[in-house]
Amino acid sequence: MKTFTYFVKNPLWVLILFAVCGVSFFSACTKEDESSLKGISFEKDEISLTVGDTCRLEVILSPSDAEADLEWDSSAPDIASVQDGLVTALASGNTTITVSSGELMAQCSISVSEEEQGVSIELNHIECTLERGETLQLTATVSPEIPSGATVQWSSSDPEVVTVDEEGMVTAVNKGQATVTAQYDTASAECKIEVVGKSVESITLDQTSIDLTVGDSYTLTATVSPEDADDIVLEWDSSDGNVATVTDGTVTAVSDGTCTITVSCQGESAACEVNVTSVQLPDPILGDFYYSDGTWSSELDNSKTAIGVVFYTGDPAKDDGILRSEHPDCTHGLVISIRRHTGPWQFNCYDYNASINDWVSANLSGYESMFGGNTGNDGNLNKMLGYQYTKAIKAFNEDPSHADYPVEVVSNISAFETDTPAPAGTSGWYLPSVKEVSLIITGDGYDNIYDIFGDTENTDVINASLARIEGADTIVGGTNTYYWSSTEHYESSPLQAYAVYADYGMVSPYLKLYEASYYYILAF
């Protein structure tokens, strides 16, 4: 190893060298003292956090440009942890965060609390459908649990539909929709409610079985439960309308047999068995009283409603194929009504200026001629055809082109039928043919009614019975007292129809626009 030894020959250089080194040494010492750390502090020495929060602590160094290696520590890391100054709140409690560098340090107190939860409320129902009158208990669950003494406030958006009491009991009042609200503090919850009508639960009849005779009627009474059910519409039905019919609960016996009457409402129903038997009536005789139930008797039965008198016994359909076809059971005779009418046959006959028969021949089929003829030997003067003549005239009246030319003696039947309904099983009311009017006035003793003069024997018998019925109109005679028929005169005389002169029983053509009396009749 080599050793180098340097000798300074000039002492002045030595002094200069020492001077320079000294200045450098003292200068370095001064700079090191000026940049060294003198103190540490926090910008805040107390901080409050909520669990889950984070916070970066600001450290103040003195001097500010001092360099330092900082160490961090939490006195309770399970409460709040710290890493490089970032504090994370973990659980409620208190801890102290310490930062240090060498012997210098600073501390910050950290207080951690649980996150404050907002109030919430839930209902056991959020929507429902109630029947009117039904109740529902709503229950409100509040979180966090409300303190003792505090209450939930209940309200209804429409108290006319639903009401709610202070305990949350809802009552359905009327059909409609409403919202019930439960409120506590700033929280609320709603239940939407629809109120529907109260349904029918059951229906019963006052009878489960009834026995009726033909022509009788009985009104069944239906009871619906509950009584205050909504939308009660009773529907009645008969299993066999040929045996018995039903209208709004009134059962009418039509013919022998058994049927079931059913009433229903909203899917509920009740039934009644109806047993119908025929009345064993004696054969009718001239002058018998005829009642609204389709029965007759020789002595007036004031417990029944008399609507006519028998003026002919025998087959009323012997000349009328249409009556025979449509009412085959009408074989007993003919009845005159108790009401006498007065008016023209066809007031506007001059304006129409044609026979009804011409229109019938051109538009209908299966009908006999409506002309009686001149002497009884050249037409249908001696035939009982009033049923089909009336049917044909009704068709004429219903033609819109005849609106200005109605045959009034037939168009008036509708109003009469409303006031005095014909019993079931009969032909219904119609205007008699001239032969049938002659049967009323004179009776059935002539082959040709054109030959009758001065014979009114039947009138006395009929009037004797009519006089015993309260409110009935007897057959009256007198000057120019004619009784209309449904028979027209003949082809060359379209403005005339046949009538019967009541004082003599004489048949005669009569101008259609003249007024005359008339009765409606029925076949039974």
* Amino acid occupying residue 12: L
Last residue of a domain, one of 196, 211, 239: 196
Is residue 307 scored above 80 in pLDDT?
yes
pLDDT (0 to 100) of residue 33: 52
Is residue 32 scored above 80 in pLDDT?
no
Backbone angles phi, psi at 155, to 5 degrees: -150, 155
- Report CA 28 to chain centroid distance, whole Å: 108
Do 112 and 253 have their domain in common? no
- The CATH number of the domain holding residue 189 is 2.60.40.1080
What is the DSSP code (8-state) at residue 69?
-
> Apex CA 517: angle with CA 513 and CA 521, to 5°?
115
Residue 284 Rama label (left phi>0; alpha psi -120 to 50; beta): beta
Q: Does residue 173 sit within a domain?
A: yes
Measured between alpha carbons, how far apart are the two ends of the chain, in Å? 167
Do 267 and 353 have their domain in common? no
pLDDT (0 to 100) of residue 114: 84
pLDDT (0 to 100) of residue 24: 41
Place of tokens 């007198």: 478
- Please name which of 330, 286, 288 lies closest in space to residue 440, comparing C-alpha atoms: 286
Last residue of a domain, one of 162, 196, 230: 196
Give this prediction's pTM: 0.53
Other C-beta atoms within 10 Å of 422: how many?
Answer: 22
pLDDT (0 to 100) of residue 280: 81
Last residue of a domain, one of 144, 161, 196: 196
Residues 176, 299: Cα–Cα separation, whole Å: 63
Do 221 and 362 have their domain in common? no
* Partners of 515 in beta bridges: 344
Is residue 247 scored above 90 in pLDDT?
yes
pLDDT (0 to 100) of residue 35: 64
Q: Does residue 434 sit within a domain?
A: yes
Q: Does residue 297 sit within a domain?
A: yes
For the stretch 35-77, pLDDT in tens is: 688 999 999 999 999 998 999 999 998 998 888 888 999 999 9
For residue 216 the two structure tokens come to 């009788």
Q: What residues have CB less than 8 Å from 446, skipping those under 6 apart?
A: 438, 452, 455
Q: Which helix (H) or strand (E) holds 196?
A: strand 187-196
Q: Does residue 25 sit within a domain?
A: yes
Do 190 and 228 have their domain in common? no
Torsion of CA 353, 357, 361, 363, to 10 degrees: 70
Is residue 26 scored above 80 in pLDDT?
no
Do 335 and 426 have their domain in common? yes
What would the mean pLDDT of 485-507 be, rounded to a whole number?
Answer: 95
Q: Does residue 392 sit within a domain?
A: yes
Residues 176, 136: Cα–Cα separation, whole Å: 16
What is the DSSP code (8-state) at residue 450?
G
The strands making up 176-184's β-sheet, listed across from edge to edge, are 127-131, 187-196, 176-184, 153-156
Q: Does residue 31 sit within a domain?
A: yes
Q: Does residue 283 sit within a domain?
A: no
* Average pLDDT over the chain, rounded to an integer: 91
Is residue 283 scored above 80 in pLDDT?
yes
pLDDT (0 to 100) of residue 152: 94
For residue 114 the two structure tokens come to 């649980």
For the stretch 390-423, pLDDT in tens is: 999 999 999 999 999 999 999 999 999 999 999 9
Do 315 and 240 have their domain in common? no
Do 107 and 125 have their domain in common? no
* Partners of 74 in beta bridges: 97
Number of domain units in the chain = 4
More confident residue, 518 or 148: 518
Instruction: State which residues form the domain around 227.
Output: 202-277
Do 172 and 270 have their domain in common? no
Do 142 and 111 have their domain in common? no
More confident residue, 196 or 8: 196
Is residue 14 scored above 60 in pLDDT?
no
Do 353 and 476 have their domain in common? yes
Is residue 300 scored above 60 in pLDDT?
yes
Q: Does residue 390 sit within a domain?
A: yes
What would the mean pLDDT of 92-106 be, rounded to a whole number?
Answer: 92
**Confidence band, pLDDT 50/70/90 cuts, at residue 383:** very high
Do 310 and 207 have their domain in common? no
Do 320 and 386 have their domain in common? yes
